[in-house]
């Protein structure tokens, strides 16, 4: 037996017991004739004490221990003279009588403590060391607790956990697929699934009316803080349900998770906000409702003056930042630079200060009278001391999106986006289609298996842009936590949707013929959704990136710097797969 207790287990009630511990050396300190060692394992830290007066050789051996040595110790639990209230084991220590070095260690490349001196790249290269840090371990423990609560919730409600294939056909309608060559089928390729979408629909046709899976998915897309090339979904599907049934059940699941893991009890039903309102008032289909600054449109009262920028715009609107009329010219110039960034895309910023004395100062004073600015302030509901920030543009939605980014920037600057506050909502009634400028055709906003709203079906051929979908996203703190839809279960309607996105009957049969065939044999009404597990954990943990809640993540270039993947493979392997690599010439 390597240990009788863990390093986080012993308390004052264990005083007098003879125990054996095993773990990693966190640090060694020599104070007079005593040597103290902090011994760490997954469960905590226990202080070890070596007394030179009792066993000089043992104390000398302890002094030679290096950081991250793996050791086994036996000794008696005693009450500490100098207690450490910050440690759960801080009332006791072990007077060591026997020490065994199980494994030595080189000096690690960074300190393995909550506050480390290792940068992101270094920690990712030695991820197995980074995982020893309490802060990272707790994220993975939270992930484990979340998956347990989700499984428990769903299984208690008759969901069946079912695995779906990982090697499937490529269906290039969304993000890029990762493809896998088939040695036994020369020149042919599998794709790794972006989601189990079609297979879970087939499970509904098969009569498995409640399915779930905590499943790896893959997308070959550009990476951000909340994306990885491989990610995990809580994937679910239900038969004989409508949108409200799915929303109600999974809202209950999210509430259960918050209650059990965060001690937060959401009493009220989550807000359900139409997509059109989310864009109109927040410039985002995933609005952050932890703070206000709802958009106010000024187009009708800001035009027809001598200011051509507003007169030529299709949209003029802004936000009101409470108590910010004191902003300096430097701060306002900084906001102007922010909105002009390529990723924001605005051409400029108009500001109006509503001063504490009731006067107005704006960047467009020579074009507008005080009465005009007062009318704007009344529409904003502004008070003396507030700052109004206004954008305009010739494309309504693009201007709203830019204004949405300005709103989030102000929320950050004012400290309104607190990580320990949570504002969940459902965004519903998404457009069924969106126009793709590159291909000059309509494409499905979610995916082409989403059902159009019954009252909009007649517009599929004549006005696709007018069709709304039975689609719904769970949004939390400005992040899309999960999303889903009611699925099409009628072969004729599915064919009409394929046609609307430019697929010919032959193309639809080639790509999805097996699904259309399945519809012939009694497909039930069904709907579902998927939550991003990595995002869910990162939000609960208050992280800025999903990487620290994944055991072995990729970096921002999609590389695993620890094992150096992806990498070149042997020519013999390529030959077996009938593949030739055609690299671009170096410039």
* 78 and 162 belong to one structural domain: no
Total tally of structural domains belonging to the chain? 3
Q: Which of 39, 69, 103 is the endpoint of a domain?
A: 103
Domain boundary among 367, 384, 417: 417
Whether residue 229 is predicted with pLDDT greater than 90 in this model: the reply is: yes
Q: Which residues of 34-63 are buried (b: 16+ CB within 10 A; e: fewer)?
A: ebebbbbbeebbbbbbbebeebeebbebbe
| Average pLDDT for 236-257 | 98
If asked whether residues 318 and 348 sit together in one domain, one would say yes
* C-alpha span between 428 and 551 (Å, rounded): 33
Give me the domain span that covers residue 375. Answer: 291-417
Residues 81 and 127 reside in one and the same domain: no
The residue behind tokens 């794709």 is 191
- pLDDT of 587: 66
Once rounded to an integer, what is the mean pLDDT over residues 91-111?
A: 96
Q: Are residues 140 and 247 in the same domain?
A: yes
Taking each helix axis from N to C end, the angle separating 197-205 and 505-518, rounded to the nearest 10 degrees, works out to 40
What is the reported pLDDT for 391? 98
| Position 585 pLDDT exceeds 90 | no
Burial class (CB in 10 A: 0-12, 13-18, 19+), 274: middle
Same domain? For 189 and 316 the reply is: no
pLDDT, position 438: 84
pLDDT band at 51 (very low <50, low <70, confident <90, very high): very high
User: Is the pLDDT score of 556 beyond 90?
Assistant: no
Q: How many CB atoms lie within 10 A of CB 160?
A: 13
| Domain-embedded: residue 448 | no
Domain contains 71:
yes
Torsion sign (Cα): 182, 188, 192, 193: negative
Select from 359, 390, 417 the last residue of a domain. 417
Q: Is 504 a member of any domain?
A: no
240, part of any domain: yes
Beta bridge partners of residue 189, listed in sequence order: 181
Domain assignment of residue 507, yes or no: no
CATH number of the domain that residue 29 is part of: 2.40.50.140
pLDDT at 172: 59
Q: Which pTM value belongs to this model?
A: 0.92
Nearest alpha-carbon partner for 346 in 294, 404, 289, 296:
404
Q: What is the mean pLDDT of residues 457-486?
A: 96
Domain identity same for 154 and 24: no
Q: What percent of the chain has pLDDT above 90?
A: 88
Tokens read off for 552 = 């072995």
- Looking at the fold, whether 166 and 204 belong to one and the same domain comes out as yes
Q: Largest alpha-carbon pair distance within the chain?
A: 93
CATH of the domain at 167: 3.30.930.10
- Give the confidence band of 227 by pLDDT, cuts at 50, 70, 90: confident
Rg, the chain, Cα only: 30
163: pLDDT strictly greater than 90: yes
Residues 81 and 25 in one domain: yes
Residues 28 and 80 in one domain: yes
What distance in Å separates the CA atoms of residue 278 and residue 264, rounded to the nearest whole number?
Answer: 25
Pair 288, 478: CB distance under 8 Å: yes
| Residue 173 pLDDT class (50, 70, 90 cuts) | low
Mean pLDDT score of the chain? 95
Same domain, yes or no: 248 and 142:
yes
Residue 465 lies in a domain: no
- Residue 363 belongs to domain with CATH number: 3.30.1360.30
Has residue 512 been placed in a domain?
A: no
* Mean pLDDT, residues 233-247 taken together: 98
- The reply to whether 339 and 389 lie within a common domain is yes
Asked whether residue 223 carries a pLDDT value surpassing 90, the answer given is no
271 located within any domain: no
- Nearest CA to 303 out of 370, 392, 388, 382 is that of 392
**Res 174: pLDDT:** 66
Domain co-membership, 237 together with 348:
no
Give the residue, 115 or 384, on which the prediction is more confident.
Answer: 384
């Amino acid at each position: 037996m390597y240990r009788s207790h863990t390093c986080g287990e012993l308390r004052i009630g264990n005083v007098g017991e003879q125990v054996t511990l095993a773990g990693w050396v966190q640090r060694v300190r020599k104070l007079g004739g005593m040597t103290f060692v902090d011994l760490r394992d997954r469960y905590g830290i226990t202080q070890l004490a070596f007394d030179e007066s009792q066993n000089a050789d043992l104390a000398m051996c302890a002094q030679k221990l290096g950081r991250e040595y793996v050791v086994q110790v036996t000794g008696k639990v005693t009450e500490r003279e100098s207690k450490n209230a910050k440690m759960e084991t801080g009332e006791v220590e072990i007077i060591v009588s026997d020490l065994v070095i199980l494994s030595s260690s080189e000096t690690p490349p960074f300190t393995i403590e909550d506050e480390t001196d290792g940068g992101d790249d270094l920690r990712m290269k030695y991820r197995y060391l980074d995982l020893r840090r309490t802060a990272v371990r707790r994220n993975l423990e939270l992930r484990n607790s979340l998956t347990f609560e989700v499984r428990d919730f769903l299984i208690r409600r008759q969901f069946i956990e079912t695995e779906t294939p990982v090697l499937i056909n490529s269906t290039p309608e969304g993000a890029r697929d990762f493809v896998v060559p088939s040695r036994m089928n020369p020149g042919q390729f599998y794709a790794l699934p972006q989601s189990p979408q079609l297979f879970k629909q087939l499970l509904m046709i098969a009569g498995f009316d409640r399915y779930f899976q905590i499943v790896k998915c893959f997308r070959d897309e550009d990476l951000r803080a909340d994306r990885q090339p491989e990610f995990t979904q809580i994937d679910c599907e239900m038969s004989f349900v409508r949108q409200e049934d799915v929303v109600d059940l999974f809202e209950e699941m999210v509430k259960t998770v918050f209650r059990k893991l965060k001690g937060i009890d959401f009493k009220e039903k989550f807000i359900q906000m139409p997509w059109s309102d989310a864009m109109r008032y927040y410039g985002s289909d995933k609005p952050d409702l932890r703070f206000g600054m709802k958009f106010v449109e000024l187009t009708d009262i800001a035009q027809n003056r001598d200011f051509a920028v507003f007169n030529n715009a299709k949209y003029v609107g802004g936000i009101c930042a409470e108590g910010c009329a004191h902003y300096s010219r430097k701060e306002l110039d900084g906001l102007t630079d922010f909105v002009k960034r390529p990723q924001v895309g605005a051409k400029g910023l108009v500001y109006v200060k509503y001063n504490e004395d009731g006067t107005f100062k704006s960047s467009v004073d020579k074009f507008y009278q005080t009465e005009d600015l007062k009318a704007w302030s009344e529409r904003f509901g502004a008070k003396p001391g507030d700052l109004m920030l206004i954008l305009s543009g010739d494309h309504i939605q693009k201007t709203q999106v830019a204004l949405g980014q300005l709103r989030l920037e102000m929320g950050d600057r004012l400290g309104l986006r607190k990580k320990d506050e949570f504002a969940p909502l459902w965004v519903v009634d998404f457009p069924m289609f969106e126009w793709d400028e590159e291909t000059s055709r309509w494409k499905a906003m979610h995916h082409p298996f989403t059902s159009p709203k019954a009252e909009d079906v007649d517009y599929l051929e004549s006005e696709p842009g007018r069709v709304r979908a039975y689609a719904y996203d769970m949004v939390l703190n400005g992040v899309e936590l999960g999303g889903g839809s009611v699925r099409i279960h009628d072969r004729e309607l599915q064919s009409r949707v394929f046609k609307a996105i430019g697929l010919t009957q032959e193309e639809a049969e080639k790509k999805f013929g097996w699904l259309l065939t399945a519809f012939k044999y009694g497909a039930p009404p069904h709907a579902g959704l998927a939550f991003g597990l990595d995002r869910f954990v990162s939000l609960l943990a208050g992280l800025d990136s999903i990487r620290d809640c994944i055991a072995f993540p990729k970096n921002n270039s999609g590389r695993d710097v620890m094992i150096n993947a992806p990498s070149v493979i042997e020519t013999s392997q390529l030959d077996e797969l009938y593949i030739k690599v055609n690299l671009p010439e170096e410039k």
